[in-house]
Amino acid sequence: MENSRRIKDLLYEQVARIGKAASSPKRLELIELLCQGEKSVDTLAREASISMKLASAHLRELRSARLVDTEKQGKNVVYRIANRAVAEFWVSIRSLAEDRLVELKMALAQLTSDPGALMPQDRESLVKAAKKGDLVVLDVRPSAEYEAAHLPYAQSMPIDELRSRLAELPQGKTIVAYCRGPYCLMAVDAVNLLKQQGFEAIHLPEGVAEWGIAPVRTAAKTAYPSSL
């Protein structure tokens, strides 16, 4: 009986390693960033608005829990999520928090002042309309993230280039903008800019992590991170 108790305690202790590794808000943000594709430490530090030293420390904790992997590429070391299960973990824990925490729901509501700017998450309809050319799907993340993974029929137009490339967008069609998921503000900013310029624009809260978990069954050649 005592031996069984020790084994059971050990099992829970090992599972708790995942919870401990994900107990930091910045580590969760790093996981979300890595769901977009592999990145170097300096890129992760810049995008998470933390120092290189702190980013490295957080990444060591994530690697210790086997949530991320590394690879030497020339003089640089790049990080990537260990496998698709890590993306599933991120989306699941975030969804649970959104379901249970009123404070989180209130914070999310502040991301857009126009509820009508949010796209109903009907993936099949979105893919069919994009395939037919009835709407335009814009990926406003950095181009490297688009190359690593993107939604079906999406075209890359990073938020920093959007204003200078407005002439490339067709008039009279709905523009659907997305970025890294519901906590990313790039798509919100893109929709605001497009509306100011007279376009009909909608924000799609989902990103490649959400779509990579349960991709739409379509003949489209869609890119998802190999680790997903």
> pLDDT, tens digit, for every residue of 174-196?
999 999 999 999 999 999 999 99
Q: For helices 25-34 and 52-64, give the axis angle rounded to 10 degrees.
A: 80
Query: How many other CB atoms sit within 10 Å of the CB of residue 174?
Result: 14
Gap between the terminal Cα atoms of the chain: 41
Confidence at 217, pLDDT banded by 50, 70, 90? very low
Q: Where are the alpha helices (H) located in the chain, listed in sequence order? A: 2-21, 25-34, 41-47, 52-64, 84-100, 102-109, 123-132, 143-148, 159-162, 186-196, 208-213
pLDDT, position 2:
80
pLDDT of 5 > 50? The answer is yes
> pLDDT, tens digit, for every residue of 132-143?
999 999 999 999
> pLDDT, tens digit, for every residue of 104-115?
999 888 876 665
Does residue 35 carry a catalytic annotation?
no
Query: What is the Cα gyration radius of the chain?
Result: 19
The three-class DSSP label of residue 201 is strand
The three-class DSSP label of residue 69 is strand
Predicted TM-score of the model (pTM): 0.89
Q: Which of 35, 41, 179, 201 is catalytic?
A: 179
